[in-house]
Amino acid sequence: MTIRGTTTDPCAVRAHDLGKTYSVRGVKGGVRALDGLDIAVERGIVFGLLGPNGAGKSTAVKVLTTLTRPDRGSAEVEGADVLRNPGRVRRLIGVVAQRSGSDPRATGRENLILQARMHGMGGHAARTRATELLDRFDLTEVADRLVKTYSGGTQRRLDVALGLVHRPAVLFLDEPTTGLDPEARAAMWTEIQRLASGDGLTVVLTTHYLEEADRLAQRLAIVDHGHVVAGGTPDELKGELRGDAVHLELASGSVPAEVRAVLEALPSVREVRVAGRGVSARSDNGAAAVPAVLAALERAGMPAAAVTVARPSLDDVFLRYTGRRYTPDNGQDTPATPGTRPSGDVADTDPTVRQEAAK
Ligand SMILES: Nc1ncnc2c1ncn2[C@@H]1O[C@H](COP(=O)(O)OP(=O)(O)OP(=O)(O)O)[C@@H](O)[C@H]1O
Ligand SMILES: [Mg+2]
């Protein structure tokens, strides 16, 4: 059984026009983390907040979980206002922060019991709930070992269990799989899916992994520079992109502006973007367009080193809306064609996007 608000609103979480600027010494005007963020999360789904490092995902979670106050805007969880009724919001939610909140010098079981006691459960109820969760999250074997001896995946499972102790209606998971190996990540994905589908929980998940968002989230909000740039189901978002994605890797020595001019002159491709040595474009028929693309680059003396044709991915969706590309291997955004990013924003001062600003 979970606690629910009394609202008839089909959304478990709503945020409207959230803004938040952190004061940072030496940074004039501070660092703008949220800039007009709007979301509406239907009850009982996994909702993904997807965005690159520094996009404002954790700040959004902190506002929604009453850990920080926004400078503007409003937010509600199960009908309870985060500013006017933070106590009620806290009873309705579970939070798994980006950094683990468990005590490494206590055992998993002790952590769970302590958490239950902090939520006002009696000793017997707390121990029973701890045993239930240890079993549920496959932690029984390690239950009486100190948390500091746990592997990363095991520790993260305990974090999720800790967030569920008081049977919340909404669970916030901030980057639940960052740093996990593929096997532990897959196990966590299964667990998260089970929470929404089996237990009817609303899960708000932040991630900078495109694949994770694609697989887990029934609905997504792509966040960049503190606001939502695109939203919908992963299929809706990908479906907005007509045709195939053509990705090229250029040989060294190519001149990005010239490459773009060469490709833009071809009728079979559109939306040409150049980011370093990577080029992407769209085509109604990618496989048919490739020979012309390769020949044109060859003629211009800037041959391609590699080419792939793919159905649209969330990576392409991100590119479409932000002008930048996530790199496939580490999920970070990469420098893109100059002039695609709005100027005068936090990226100029924010170390997490210095890579971009340095471009
Ligand atoms: N306590 C803070 N003080 C100052 N600046 C902050 C603070 N917390 C976050 N920021 C800045 O606010 C912006 C948004 O940060 P936030 O942590 O919300 O992003 P994120 O999307 O969660 O990123 P990540 O993927 O790296 O976790 C960044 O520029 C960050 O440097
Ligand atoms: Mg974060």
In the chain, the number of structural domains is 2
Contact (Cβ atoms closer than 8 angstroms) between residue 325 and residue 280: yes
Last residue of a domain, one of 211, 237, 263: 237
Last residue of a domain, one of 203, 237, 271: 237
Name the closest-CA residue to atom 29, ligand 1: 54
- Check: CB of residue 96 under 8 Å from CB of residue 163: yes
Single-letter code of the amino acid located at 134? L
Residue identified by tokens 């983390």 is 33
Whether residue 4 lies inside any domain: the answer is no
216 and 246 part of one domain: no
Structural domain includes residue 290: yes
Q: Is the domain of 233 the same as that of 248?
A: no
Phi, psi torsion values for 182, nearest 5 degrees:
-55, -35
If you measure from the C-alpha of residue 311 to the centroid of ligand 1, how many angstroms do you get, rounded to a whole number?
Answer: 32
CA–CA gap between residue 162 and residue 113 (Å, rounded): 9
Of 57-61, 151-155, 183-187, 320-324, the one with minimum mean pLDDT is 320-324
For the stretch 284-332, pLDDT in tens is 888 899 999 999 999 999 889 999 998 888 888 888 888 887 754 444 4
Instruction: Compute the distance from residue 92 Cα to the ligand 1 centre, in Å.
Output: 25
Ligand 1 atom at minimal distance to the Cα of residue 98: 27
**Looking at ligand 1, which atom is closest to the CA of residue 62?**
18
Q: How far apart are CA 161 and CA 130, in angstroms?
A: 9
pLDDT of 336: 35
CATH of the domain at 211: 3.40.50.300
**Residue 22 is part of which domain span?**
11-237
DSSP assignment of 276-322, as one string?
A: TTEEEEEETTHHHHHHHHHHHHHHTT--EEEEEEE---HHHHHHHHH
Using the 3D structure, point to which of 196, 216, 237 is the last residue of a domain.
237
Q: List Cβ neighbours of 295 (8 Å cut-off, separation of 6 or more).
A: none
Query: How many A from CA of 68 to the centre of ligand 1?
Result: 12
Domain harbouring 261, CATH code: 3.30.70.260
What's the pLDDT tens digit per position in 168-226?
A: 999 999 999 988 888 889 989 999 999 988 888 999 999 988 889 999 999 999 999 99
Return d(Cα 267, Cα 279) in angstroms, integer. 17
Is ligand 1 within 6 A of the CB of residue 58?
yes
- Tokens representing 96 are 């798994």
pLDDT of residue 354: 29
Handedness of CA 234, 59, 175, 325 (dihedral sign): positive
Residue 5 belongs to some domain of the structure: no
Of 57, 78, 75, nearest in space to 66 by CA: 75
First to last CA, the chain: 52
β pairing state of 202-207 and 46-50: parallel
Q: Which ligand is nearest to the CA of 221?
A: 1
Instruction: Report whether pLDDT(353) > 50.
Output: no
